[in-house]
Structure 1
Amino acid sequence: MAPKYKEGDVVFTLNARWVSWVHTAVAYCAFLGALFVGCWLHYQKIVQNEHYGYPEEWFPSVSATIGDRYPERSVFMVFIAMTSGPRFALVGLWYLLTKRPNSNLPAIIAGVGVFRTLTCGGWTYVTSTDDHDWHDIFMISYLVATLPWTLGCLALSPPNPEAVKWRKRFAGLFFGTLVPLIYFFIQHKVHKVAGAYTIYAFFEWALVLFDVAFDAVTAYDFNTFEVVVRDVKGLSRGDAKTLKDSVKDKNPDQSIIQASTFDGPYYWPAVLDAASDIFSGYVFWSILTCLGVVIWYFPLWHMGISGFEVFVMAPAAPLWLAIPAVRSLVIKNIRVVHLLSVAGVLSWLVKDPVYRLFTVGTAVSLGSIAWSATWYAERANPNRLQTRILAWTIGLVLSSISKFANYGNNPIWPVLNAEGGGWNKTGVLLAVLAIWRSTRQVNVSGGDYNPAAQKKGSAGLISLGLGALFFGMHSLLSDSSTMILWVWEGYPVRGPIASPHGAVTIFFMAVGLFLGTSIPQVFTTWTAFGIGSVGAALLTCYSHWTGYYGALALTVYLMGVAPSLITAGAQHNPAKTFGFGFLFYNFLVLFHVWVVAYAFVPGGPLVREHTDWIMATMMIAIGAAVFTIQTTDSPHKRRSATSSSSRKASAYYIHILLALQLLSAAIAYLRFPTNDYQPYHKEEKLMTAGIWTTHFSLDNDLWTSEYRIRDALKELEIDVIGLLESDTQRIIMGNRDATAFLAEDLGMYVDFGPGPNKHTWGSALLSKFPIVNSTHHLLPSPVGELAPAIEATLDVYGTLVDVFVFHSGQEEDPEDRRLQSLYLSKLMAATPRPAILLSYLVTKPEQGNYNTYVGDKSTMHDIDVSDWDRWCEYILYKDIKRVGYARVARGTITDTEIQLGKFVIGEPVSYTNERISEEQVPPGRRFPDMFKPPGARGHFYHVLDGDARGGAPRYYA
């Protein structure tokens, strides 16, 4: 029995609000004290950044203020250590104040609060100088945990109107400050705008002030608590009292959030069920998005129709569900069908490309059948149907995030192996476990379900809408960088970039899905359809931010309308809606390939360069489905009576969706470009430039080749490289962006151009030197494929140098190639600066169009006139000293060699072809020895005509 206390036993009492005041005061002293001391002692040092100093930048950032300088760092650390005690007390008191019977949310939020406190100590006491990686890990963890802490405190806020008001205000100010904070950081880091970092610093300090102020509001709530110190005998068995439930009963309308999703216990097995469901959806999207890559391998190597393209029809397999016996068999054995589709992930073990294609195609067919049957089977249970739709759509979000984290490649694709960044074994294991759990409680029949007097609308129109929806989600949303590259037009940066703005695209996917689940009836209105259509038009017709805003509007619409369209489709025979829907999706996929591959496919010229037709067809088809849904008895109306239970059923899926957004934000932070790249031999003022046709980053054996391309470029010490056949932002190529991986891993600036909506096979420029300006060109191509070119001005050791990256048209169209040679020669002749052409010309040395590219018309010179064994790749130059030339074997990566030229800035230019021996060349200007025969990994210097020394580079006086 607990002892009975007397008033005389009390030694000390303190109102708990003082815990909040002490925490606030000491935290502000830590930051403001460091700011005062730093400005007093080291003002010009702490306002200096990598681009500018005083007077352009005149206010220090938080990180610069509390960094490594003594004594401001010590001032900050002492006070932040003093803050830890009140901080832990604040978190504990908040838990005691908010804990309720049958609710785990207070404990979860308290855990998040403790985690934030520990990670704050991490980034405080481990600076970026001590250990940059761990400093970033602690900082990212702290920022990520801030969102659930803030939302959780809002959700649990006691019915105190004053506290609720200020909590809302500070939370709004905190999250609102993030937008200008990110904007001005990009202006500083990417655009290098003078003074932008000072403005960023003000927002950064505001973020700190609002963060501390948000927790200071607890002073209003802690008035109900008193901290008491007693002199007692025996052990204390007393239980602390929480806020009385009667307060809530008397003020039921003052609760900050009346969300049923937070009531009751947090059922962790249900979280695991939701996660398993979502991972099952992720597996489907993984094999579907890889099917195009596996198919593409065959026409790529056949240089035309191969016959294997028929596998593009694999997703239309739900047409088999038109047979009642098949439909019943699939539904009753849905777990088996889902498990069989995992063969698509397992197929990385199949080495032969033909058999791997057969395996992936079969898996996609089974996956399409399994999901169509799942939706159809759950049509009588709106809540379960909604969770299945959420699992499938969040699976797309997870797929996009996994590609965002893995630089455009899905880690469980069967075209990746361990050497190429694949997580195949892990993917198979998780897929089997997830499907086994998510299908263990399926209890449905294969019979028909026909509620009385239900108007189900037109199955044909719904199938068109579903096909267009599937196509839009796949072609535009399966990779977060796709639409960003649609609106990219080169340097200076005037719009979004793949990182960090890929996280913005993913966030708007989540917003659309959340709204589509919460207020589905809004997305089946003509107003919403009109907004989505305007977004599609802006994305198609405009560049930069305007085009991207349209992309975000279209993103929200596609994800938001998905639950309504799939729900409507589930009310019909699945063969009619999902089967024909995937068939129409296949038509749009072929249409979307034909617009760029028109030179190689039957009827191609009819749709040449008509992406606008594709977008219009997609939106009209979705509009047809919206029309028929408006004339039906909407399943969402029938569900209105059980909307509370529906929210509870989908709550765990939404929570996981929120967690995925935090993961996406963390990835964006880690991938943010540093823009502090250095060339390999700056002491020599050397620039090594190269050209390589990378064949869409697929090698001879159907494996992605980004890692091996990366290794070759790094070991060859290439400062500037032109990559051709590099546009992989189409369904048939996996919606990838190999240039992003190469640029970020190698530390290079990248210009991807022209974009995927410009109907070329792609060109890209990677540079260790800043790209001052770049322009994308589409050269004259009246008959054949479009010829892309990038014209870029680089800042090379303080000298402006123009670099042209160009891919000429195919051999079968001589007039195209002649016109292109004239166009490019005028471009090169017009520049008054030193210039280099990195190109694919389709001509023999000193014959035909070669004499337009080289000579008086262009003012350009061949890097080595004596090298007769060239047909495609050439390096030309003018007004810059050439010191070396080499051709490097491709290995198994592609079908084209690497060509390299070494140039020196600031020395007299000579166009003679007088060669010198390697011994006469300073070591810093030589090509790496590791590629002398036999070379490394299949890469070695080719034997050039007239060079008796074997495979070796050439050097010039």
Structure 2
Amino acid sequence: MAPSKYEKGEVVTSFNAKWITYLHTTFAYAAFVSALIVGCSLHYKKIVENEFYGYPQEWFPSVSATIGDRYPERSFFMVFIAITSGPRFAMVALWYCMTFVRGGALPKFVAGVGVFRTLSCGGWTYVTSTDDHHWHDIFMVSYLVATIPWTVGCIALSPRGNAKSLKGRKIFGSAFFLLIIPLTYYFLQHKVHHVSGAYTKYAFFEWIVVLTDVAFDAMTIYDFEGLEVTIRDVRGVTRGQTVSDAVLEKEMNRDVAEIFAPGFSWAASIDAAADVYNGFVFWSMLTSLALSTWYFPLWHMGLSGYEAIILASLSPIVLGIAPVRSLVTQNLRATHLLSLSGLVAFTILRPDLRLFAVGAGVSFSCLAWTATFYAERAQPHRLEARISAFALGLMASSIAKFAFQTNNPIWPIMHGPNGGWNKTGLVFAILAILRSFRHSSTAGSASTAPPKKGSSVLAALGLAGLFISMHWLFSDSSTLILWVWEGWPARGPLAVPHGAYTFLAMGLGLLIGLYYPGFARSWTFYGIGATGAALVTSFSHWTGYYGALALGAYIMAAAPILISSAVKFPPARTFTLAFLFYNILLLATIWTVAYAFVPFGWTLRERTHWVVTAVVLCLGAGIFNAQAVETTTSSTKGKNARPSPVARKSRTYYVYILLALQILGISIAYLRFPSYDYAPKHPEKTLTAGIWTIHFSLDNDMWSSEHRMRDVLKELELDVIGLLESDNQRIIMGNRDSTQFLAEELGMYVDFGPGPNKHTWGAALLSKFPIVNSTHHLLPSPVGELAPAIHATLDCYGTYVDVFVFHSGQEEDPEDRRLQSEYLAGLMGSVTTRPAILLSYLVTKPKEGNYNTYVGEKSGMRDIDPSDWDRWCEYILYKNIRRSGYARVSRSTITDTEIQVGRFVVGQPEGSDEIVPENQVAEGLKFPALFHGEGVRGHRYHVFDEPRYYA
């Protein structure tokens, strides 16, 4: 071959860029199709088999089973997918080169996502679930989640002149997201409900998703037709020559400057992140105040006096003093730093002093945020940024709770031993405040006349409705899911994974409020929000949850509207009234269930719908005021004034953070999805059941007690546990759900019991055995508090066993307890032939009064130990099943009630009351030796000083 004759700068070779897409598409499809063909040819029955069914019930393999661990199909897949990576990176680079010339940050962001998506694909390809299930899932969910911004970004950047590629992207992109719905449905049918054949249907949709994903990227064929990849000799290397380094450096500098000149600013993105973190800290402290206060009436069994500290949020009243207002607005950094006493509170051991520190933090935080909004009132783009940070802070707080199984890691009830991240949270809070408020504000000192129309009282009512709904209903993603929960089988959303849907609705709402303020301010959208409130209050299952999603979208959309109109009025009057009305509504949410312990509690007894109506009316007052205050004619016509370039650029960074939070929420939902592959501790047809009143998961020293509860329940080897006083999905309990943590950590199915809108103190059931069916009951309670009960049917070793979990009314209401005993006895008596166990809180002495209704002919139930006279609250009853053992275990400092445990043998008759020595008991029927003598961590067998065993 003749030597090259190309001159410096001349083209060595070139080819059309579409061939890169052809290579990518060909090798990507070859990877999956070759693995499918080889797998079905060599290991068909093995790759269609799952943990519940095999061939012929399941007859088509999933993607993961096909490309997974079996040789040689795994090797076929890996070889072709490795070859695909080259064209893949080239496609991302070409797409960036084609789109970056328009400027802006989006092309860079999409390119970054494309690279990350390609790397994460390599992760789940080469680290299989067998190699490392945890990291395989992390890479897989990273890839799937990154597909969201990749798809949206590519559609947004598609050249409008190429209709064919844009249409294809919209079709395949929409198909990808729509297919997630049946994909999730059939996966739940398989994993949760164990439906035969569901996994095959899931597999079909999974394969279509894969084909659709590759097809979406294949649309670049039409875009790259106009691009040519050229290899140019710029240094004379084909002739052994080089150009000077100075010329090359100049050329490179010019290219770099052209690429990075427009668009994205790291400084601005850090500012936005710091603002949002400040919002996260505000909501973390505000939600912790009532929770910390609750400890005191909980232990006093009535009003304690400490409840007055909730008025700490009225601190904006001092802004009515002109010198103080000027001082605060000129020193926002110092005021926000003072508020961090609420985060430092975790270092204080005494509960009362810790509460005071939290109260001080909330007081300074409410003052600081009010002053911050007021100081920015003359700068619309800065005010919008602060409001966005405030709203996104709520989302960040809720997502943090989603990640930590409904406990906020920086709450004052958290610390190192129970999973707290307090020190980390405090350090980031200090850095965020120093960053966000490094410049003093001058706007706050300027005098601005209040608007001629509107009312500060109406504005305050709107803010109160906004604050209480954000706190009460959306500070945790599972709150409204539990409002609509009615037991197994699941006929509505689950806390995991559907909590991510709540985040999506909230995010959509905030975008509406920012980009379509006219619609967000309209009575039409208000009607949608009000309808959503009515649905979630009145209906269960998916119907109620759809209402919750509509309400969540409306609340977040209303935030920019209500706050931006409220700051036009004097801050002391408006925000003080707002927090006053907020506190009144907060107390109202408590009164609906705590009516037996507070003055005039009967007025709101079991009337949550009244409180929801009041909140919706408050929001309506705020919207009425916002419409009156609004002066632009475009908004009154339903149109939106175009924001300034500064506002648009600033808004972009908060939208990026919103997108990041959404991706984080989806990722957490994926990683937390339960395995539903639980098995009892002892497979010899034994069933160990317990009952425990957990006192709302706050221990004697005001620390969250879930970790300590998990440890003792695990060590007791419980298969079934009934939990009472367990409903924490209220403002005063922090909108938590301890059953999520316990179920996931212990590997158990869970039934939350009657939801937070059913006005009980809670009953929950956790089981190693599948819950075939469960029904929730509210027992007759004409005078005192409502008594909750769960009637669940468990599949125990192929035998159905009915389990009842029940909390009776208080000692002060004897007629209630009599009626409840009659009701429950009839309910237990309806189970005639199946084994049945009652895990209960009865409030009666053994063999006296209502005890003889619970244990008698009507119910057919027997006492687990009739000779145990030292009981008042907790009892275990049973029938049609052999009782082999009974133990009472001390509580340590976790709660105020012991754990009672019974061990049963499924499939054997009841047996006698004869007590046998432990050395005559089969090893598999013995209780753990760990709790003999002094026990462990304050837990030991007590009363009898050892378990009892029966013949």
Q: Under TM normalisation by the shorter chain, which class is it?
A: over 0.9
2:614 is equivalent to residue 617 of structure 1: yes
Q: Which residue of 2 aligns with 1:586?
A: 583
Q: Which residue of 1 aligns with 2:335?
A: 337
Q: Which moved more, 1:766-775 or 1:69-78?
A: 69-78
2:672 is equivalent to residue 659 of structure 1: no
2:600 is equivalent to residue 608 of structure 1: no
User: Any residues of structure 2 matched to 1:175-190 within 5 Å, and which?
Assistant: 175-190=177-192
Q: Which residue of 1 aligns with 2:296?
A: 298
| Rounded Cα–Cα distance in structure 2 between residues aligned with 1:315 and 1:516 | 26
| Rounded Cα–Cα distance in structure 1 between residues aligned with 2:813 and 2:229 | 87
Q: Which residue of 1 aligns with 2:77?
A: 76
Q: Which residue of 1 aligns with 2:173?
A: 171
Q: Which residue of 1 aligns with 2:891?
A: 890
User: Any residues of structure 2 matched to 1:721-760 within 5 Å, and which?
Assistant: 721-760=721-760
Q: Which residue of 1 aligns with 2:813?
A: 813
User: Any residues of structure 2 matched to 1:496-511 within 5 Å, and which?
Assistant: 496-511=493-508
| Rounded Cα–Cα distance in structure 2 between residues aligned with 1:225 and 1:513 | 39
**1:294 partner letter:** S
Residues 335 and 436 of structure 1 are in contact (CA less than 8 Å); yes or no, is this contact kept in structure 2? yes
2:547 is equivalent to residue 546 of structure 1: no
Residues 844 and 872 of structure 2 are in contact (CA less than 8 Å); yes or no, is this contact kept in structure 1? yes
| Rounded Cα–Cα distance in structure 2 between residues aligned with 1:107 and 1:523 | 31
Residues 807 and 839 of structure 1 are in contact (CA less than 8 Å); yes or no, is this contact kept in structure 2? yes
Match of 2:285 among 284, 287, 311: 287
Q: Which residue of 2 aligns with 1:422?
A: 420
User: Any residues of structure 2 matched to 1:790-809 within 5 Å, and which?
Assistant: 790-809=790-809
Residues 299 and 305 of structure 1 are in contact (CA less than 8 Å); yes or no, is this contact kept in structure 2? yes
Q: Which residue of 2 aligns with 1:691?
A: 691
Q: Which residue of 1 aligns with 2:520?
A: 523
Q: Which residue of 1 aligns with 2:201?
A: 199
User: Identity of counterpart residues, as a percentage?
Assistant: 62
Q: Which residue of 2 aligns with 1:257?
A: none
Q: 1:6 Cα deviation (Å)?
A: 4.9
Match of 1:574 among 547, 571, 574: 571
Return closer, same or farther for 1:4/1:640 CA change in 2, 3 Å cut-off: farther
**1:802 partner letter:** D
Residues 279 and 434 of structure 1 are in contact (CA less than 8 Å); yes or no, is this contact kept in structure 2? yes
Q: Which residue of 2 aligns with 1:252?
A: none
| Rounded Cα–Cα distance in structure 1 between residues aligned with 2:184 and 2:440 | 46
Residues 286 and 399 of structure 1 are in contact (CA less than 8 Å); yes or no, is this contact kept in structure 2? yes
User: 1:232-254 CA deviation, whole Å, 9 max, x = no partner?
Assistant: 53348889999xx9xxxxxxxxx
Residues 277 and 429 of structure 2 are in contact (CA less than 8 Å); yes or no, is this contact kept in structure 1? yes
Return closer, same or farther for 1:567/1:881 CA change in 2, 3 Å cut-off: same
| Rounded Cα–Cα distance in structure 1 between residues aligned with 2:613 and 2:250 | 64
| Rounded Cα–Cα distance in structure 1 between residues aligned with 2:861 and 2:242 | 92
Coordinate RMSD, CA, aligned: 2.2
| Rounded Cα–Cα distance in structure 2 between residues aligned with 1:636 and 1:297 | 52
Residues 344 and 360 of structure 1 are in contact (CA less than 8 Å); yes or no, is this contact kept in structure 2? yes
User: Any residues of structure 2 matched to 1:320-331 within 5 Å, and which?
Assistant: 320-331=318-329
**2:240 partner letter:** K
| Rounded Cα–Cα distance in structure 2 between residues aligned with 1:644 and 1:356 | 46
**1:875 partner letter:** I
User: 1:651-690 CA deviation, whole Å, 9 max, x = no partner?
Assistant: 10111110010011100001111110011001x1111000
Give the paired residue count: 928
Q: Which moved more, 1:514-523 or 1:65-74?
A: 65-74
User: 1:748-798 CA deviation, whole Å, 9 max, x = no partner?
Assistant: 000001000000000000000000000000000000000000000000000
Q: 1:133 Cα deviation (Å)?
A: 1.1
User: Any residues of structure 2 matched to 1:528-927 within 5 Å, and which?
Assistant: 528-634=525-631, 640=641, 642-682=643-683, 684-832=684-832, 833-910=834-911, 912-927=912-927
**2:170 partner letter:** K
| Rounded Cα–Cα distance in structure 2 between residues aligned with 1:8 and 1:637 | 57
| Rounded Cα–Cα distance in structure 2 between residues aligned with 1:212 and 1:649 | 34
**2:736 partner letter:** R
Residues 521 and 636 of structure 1 are in contact (CA less than 8 Å); yes or no, is this contact kept in structure 2? no
Return closer, same or farther for 1:25/1:300 CA change in 2, 3 Å cut-off: same
Residues 376 and 444 of structure 2 are in contact (CA less than 8 Å); yes or no, is this contact kept in structure 1? no
Residues 329 and 445 of structure 2 are in contact (CA less than 8 Å); yes or no, is this contact kept in structure 1? no
| Rounded Cα–Cα distance in structure 1 between residues aligned with 2:580 and 2:10 | 81
Return closer, same or farther for 1:934/1:366 CA change in 2, 3 Å cut-off: same
Q: 1:512 Cα deviation (Å)?
A: 0.6
User: 1:314-371 CA deviation, whole Å, 9 max, x = no partner?
Assistant: 1122122222222222111111111000110110011111111111111101101110
| Rounded Cα–Cα distance in structure 2 between residues aligned with 1:300 and 1:350 | 20
Q: 1:7 Cα deviation (Å)?
A: 11
Q: Which runs of 5+ in 1 are unaligned?
A: 246-261, 945-950
Residues 497 and 673 of structure 2 are in contact (CA less than 8 Å); yes or no, is this contact kept in structure 1? yes
Residues 376 and 443 of structure 2 are in contact (CA less than 8 Å); yes or no, is this contact kept in structure 1? no
Partner of 2:752, secondary structure, is strand
Residues 694 and 724 of structure 1 are in contact (CA less than 8 Å); yes or no, is this contact kept in structure 2? yes
**1:956 partner letter:** Y
Q: 1:819 Cα deviation (Å)?
A: 0.5
2:233 is equivalent to residue 226 of structure 1: no
**1:519 partner letter:** Y
Return closer, same or farther for 1:83/1:641 CA change in 2, 3 Å cut-off: closer
Partner of 2:112, secondary structure, is helix
Partner of 2:595, secondary structure, is coil
User: 1:68-96 CA deviation, whole Å, 9 max, x = no partner?
Assistant: 12222122112112212222222222233
**2:502 partner letter:** T
2:134 is equivalent to residue 133 of structure 1: yes
| Rounded Cα–Cα distance in structure 2 between residues aligned with 1:44 and 1:27 | 25
Q: Which moved more, 1:354-363 or 1:149-158?
A: 149-158
Instruction: State the TM-score, normalized to the length of structure 2.
Output: 0.95
**1:283 partner letter:** V
Q: Which residue of 1 aligns with 2:163?
A: 161
Q: Which residue of 2 aligns with 1:463?
A: 460
User: 1:706-765 CA deviation, whole Å, 9 max, x = no partner?
Assistant: 000000100110000000000000001100000000001110000001000000000000
| Rounded Cα–Cα distance in structure 2 between residues aligned with 1:634 and 1:102 | 34
**1:859 partner letter:** G
Return closer, same or farther for 1:241/1:82 CA change in 2, 3 Å cut-off: farther
| Rounded Cα–Cα distance in structure 1 between residues aligned with 2:251 and 2:325 | 58
Instruction: State the TM-score, normalized to the length of structure 1.
Output: 0.94
Residues 104 and 264 of structure 1 are in contact (CA less than 8 Å); yes or no, is this contact kept in structure 2? yes
User: Any residues of structure 2 matched to 1:343-422 within 5 Å, and which?
Assistant: 343-422=341-420
**2:946 partner letter:** A
Q: Which moved more, 1:309-318 or 1:791-800?
A: 309-318
User: Any residues of structure 2 matched to 1:442-521 within 5 Å, and which?
Assistant: 442-450=440-448, 454-521=451-518
Q: Which residue of 2 aligns with 1:248?
A: none
**1:795 partner letter:** D
Residues 722 and 765 of structure 2 are in contact (CA less than 8 Å); yes or no, is this contact kept in structure 1? yes
Q: Which residue of 1 aligns with 2:217?
A: 215
Q: Which moved more, 1:633-642 or 1:45-54?
A: 633-642
Match of 2:946 among 942, 952, 956: 952
**2:753 partner letter:** G
Q: 1:12 Cα deviation (Å)?
A: 4.6
Residues 380 and 449 of structure 1 are in contact (CA less than 8 Å); yes or no, is this contact kept in structure 2? no
**2:431 partner letter:** L
User: 1:851-876 CA deviation, whole Å, 9 max, x = no partner?
Assistant: 11112121000000111111100000
Q: Which residue of 2 aligns with 1:54?
A: 55
**2:654 partner letter:** Y
**1:211 partner letter:** D
| Rounded Cα–Cα distance in structure 2 between residues aligned with 1:550 and 1:90 | 43
Residues 520 and 636 of structure 1 are in contact (CA less than 8 Å); yes or no, is this contact kept in structure 2? no
| Rounded Cα–Cα distance in structure 2 between residues aligned with 1:343 and 1:803 | 46
| Rounded Cα–Cα distance in structure 2 between residues aligned with 1:468 and 1:81 | 55
Return closer, same or farther for 1:797/1:306 CA change in 2, 3 Å cut-off: same
